[in-house]
Amino acid sequence: MGEVVGRSFVVWLTGLSGAGKTTVARGLAEALRVRGISKLEVLDGDAVRENLSKGLGFSKEDRDTNVARIAFVAQLLARNDVNVIVAAISPYAEARAAARERIGEGFVEVHVDCGLPELVRRDVKGLYAKALAGELAHFTGVSDPYEAPENPDVRVSSEGQSVEESVGAIVAFLEARGRL
């Protein structure tokens, strides 16, 4: 499959809906641009599903297909020295492990953590209320599984940390790995 050989990285944000993946992705992109990283793409779940994965649903098979497509594109970009930030629920550990295998050393798994009570309180898109009322089948964390990473490269929490602190932790990891 051909791993990425250069110094580029793929920061892969995984976590429940509303946990803060998009918010942290944007903050991280901004922080990296300030540091002079201009070759950078963000692959966000919502945009991917409108384009690359249009028509896919939320069965395990469709989610795995979605995650595999994102990993494929991330690898294409990274091997051309474009750094990538992925923000997708990516609930299944096996699919994330396959992404890591495809991308190689530059893959950085970040768990964006947040407890269910806080997610229900935020309910940014109103989906938790629907899922809890039994009106939304296969909703991650309520009526569908989320396999939290046991050993992520970085774990951040949108309950215990500010966006800036989460971004700082990811930047520090990239520095320690010699990617920045």
H helices, E strands: number in the chain: 7, 5
Strand-pair category, 10-14 with 40-44: unpaired
User: Judged by CB under 6 A, does residue 72 bind ligand PPS?
Assistant: no
User: Judged by CB under 6 A, does residue 124 bind ligand ADP?
Assistant: yes
Measured CA to CA in angstroms, residue 13 lies from 8, 118, 132, 135, 175 at distances of: 16, 19, 25, 27, 17
Contact mark string toward ligand ADP, 10..49, x via CB under 6 A: -----x-xxxxxxxx-------------------------
Report which of 55, 70, 67 is spatially closest to residue 95, judged by C-alpha positions: 67
Q: Which of 8, 53, 90, 158 is catalytic?
A: 90
22 labeled part of a ligand binding site: yes
67 and 45 Cβ atoms separated by less than 8 Å: no
Strand-pair category, 10-14 with 83-87: parallel
Q: What SS3 state is found at 150? A: coil
* Binders of ligand PPS in range 102-121 (CB under 6 A): none
163 binds, among ligand ADP, ligand PPS, none (CB under 5 to 8 A by kind): ligand ADP
18 labeled part of a ligand binding site: yes
140 binds, among ligand PPS, ligand ADP, none (CB under 5 to 8 A by kind): ligand PPS
Binding residue count for ligand PPS, defined by CB under 6 A:
19
Q: At what angle do helices 93-103 and 60-78 cross, to 10 degrees?
A: 20
90 a catalytic residue? yes
Q: How far apart are CA 110 and CA 168, in angstroms?
A: 13
User: Judged by CB under 6 A, does residue 59 bind ligand ADP?
Assistant: no
Residues of the shown chain interacting with ligand PPS in the complex, contacts defined by CB under 6 A: 17-18, 22, 45-46, 49, 58, 63, 66-67, 88-91, 125, 138-140, 144
| Residue stretches of the annotated binding site for ATP | 15-22
Residues of the shown chain interacting with ligand ADP in the complex, contacts defined by CB under 6 A: 15, 17-24, 87, 122, 124, 158, 161-163, 166
